[in-house]
Amino acid sequence: MTEPVDPADAEDFLRLFYTEHPNEGDADRRVAWVRAEIDLTGTYHHTTAELTFGAQVAWRNSARCIGRLYWRSLRVRDLRAVRTADDVAEHCVQHLRQAWNGGKLRPLMSVFAPEAPNRPAPRIWNELLIRYAGYPTEDGGVLGDPRYLGFTDRVTTLGWRPTEPRGAFDVLPLVVETPEEGPRLYDLPADAVREVPITHPELPWLTELGLRWHAVPAISNIRMVIGGVSYPAAPFNGWYMGTEIGARNLADTERYNLLPEVARRLGLDTSSETTLWRDRALVELNRAVLHSFAAAGVTITDHHTESDRFLKHVAKEQRAGRTCPADWSWIVPPMSGSQTPVFHRYYDTEHLRPEFVLDDDAAHRGTHGGPSTPRRERPGTECPMWSYLH
């Protein structure tokens, strides 16, 4: 059972909203109205303006996000009246189409029904709306993305059948769960799954690896909390930072683990770590990602540019009289960290609200599929930020 909203949390948010929107009306009157609504129902209804501001500020407050310079540009689709699995899935597809925007990706959030006392909200199992399946092979390896072995097995037991022959980049189905219907599966249509083939500007053999990655990184299993009201289904996207794909998704040893193959093709000496073969292969793989997205006309950014932009955001927040919380371990890029300006400083660590929260059960569903015994783990390589992700 969802706990009633704390009126103090609601008032804190509303005071913030009216402080930053002094022309919106009488703050005291709105607070009194909301307190009465909470007394009567255990929760309250945000106006569309409050919802949009709350989503933007949740991004602004996200300590793991390096791309917060553009927090005001987030567009919010108010879908709180949508409750059936079919309708949630259809709006997720529409989200991907709208976010694509001809390759000029736009930061977008689709907010579905909130939790309320005695009325659970729809949930999305997937960590991201688009992810690739993982299949165990007879030799003990994995075809596809090892992170999603458990999720792939779970959706298979629920009735999903991948297209044969199976491949390394098979798009997983969307899983939407409602209290009335349970989990339901939906294959994403091809026009909603925009992918970029990975090539290299100077190494034609890289094309032979058959790599590709989806263009729109829409996170879908992180709960948004605004003024005490919890929105467990609020998919959002920005655009990728190249290292998310080239230094994490394709390179992590527990993901696609491509560095040994890239190093072999480059003719590097892999007999010792002191040759720095991993580092050399990593640079070329990341060059390929940035080159490929640019050649396809799809928005992406590099970690040096985004580090500079983040410090501009910090300075703007300070001039506005606000703190800017940041988690150093997430803000610093996963390659060449000391060559970026975000590496060489300390950050505020104050916890601010509105906020995004990764539930234990959401983390479990996203990689293992279905409600089960939750376990704590570091989320996927993407985290909440919406002008790109890392």
Q: Please report, for the domain that includes residue 326, its CATH number.
A: 3.90.340.10
- Residue 292, phi-psi category: left (phi > 0), alpha (psi -120 to 50), beta (remainder): alpha
pTM of the predicted protein model: 0.94
Q: Among residues 64, 65, 71, 248, which one is catalytic?
A: 65
Q: Is 244 designated active site?
A: yes
Count of structural domains within the chain: 1
Q: What are phi and psi of 243, to 5 degrees?
A: -65, -25
Residue labelled with tokens 């913030």: 16
Task: Report yes or no: 92 and 82 within 8 Å, Cβ to Cβ.
Answer: no
Indicate whether 10 belongs to any domain.
no
Query: For residue 259, is it within any domain?
Result: yes
The catalytically annotated residue of 239, 277, 330, 386 is: 239
* Tens of pLDDT, residue by residue, the chain (390 residues): 689 999 999 999 999 999 999 999 999 999 999 999 999 999 999 999 999 999 999 999 999 999 999 999 999 999 999 999 999 999 999 999 999 999 999 999 999 999 999 999 999 999 999 999 999 999 999 999 999 999 999 999 999 999 999 999 999 999 999 999 999 999 999 999 999 999 999 999 999 999 999 999 999 999 999 999 999 999 999 999 999 999 999 999 999 999 999 999 999 999 999 999 999 999 999 999 999 999 999 999 999 999 999 999 999 999 999 999 999 999 999 999 999 999 999 999 999 999 999 877 776 778 888 654 333 333 344 544 433 343
Which one of the listed residues 30, 60, 64, 68 is annotated catalytic?
68
The answer as to whether 378 is a domain residue is no
Give the range of the structural domain holding residue 147, as residue numbers without chain letter: 45-368
Note whether 67 and 342 are within 8 A (CB): no
Pair of tokens at residue 202: 């100077």
Q: Is 65 annotated as a binding residue?
A: yes
CB 137 within 8 Å of CB 168 = no
**381 found inside a domain:** no
| Domain presence at residue 25 | no
Catalytic annotation present for 60: no
- 379 is a domain residue: no
Active-site residue among 50, 115, 244, 306?
Answer: 244
Report the 10 Å Cβ neighbour count for 194. Answer: 19
- In the chain, which ranges are continuous DSSP H helix? 7-20, 27-41, 48-60, 85-100, 149-157, 242-243, 259-266, 277-296, 303-319, 328-331, 360-368
Q: Note if 68 is an active site residue.
A: yes
What is the Cα–Cα distance from 49 to 235, expressed in whole angstroms?
A: 18
Domain annotation covers residue 24: no
Does any domain span residue 35? no
65 is catalytic: yes
**E strand or H helix that includes residue 212:** strand 212-214
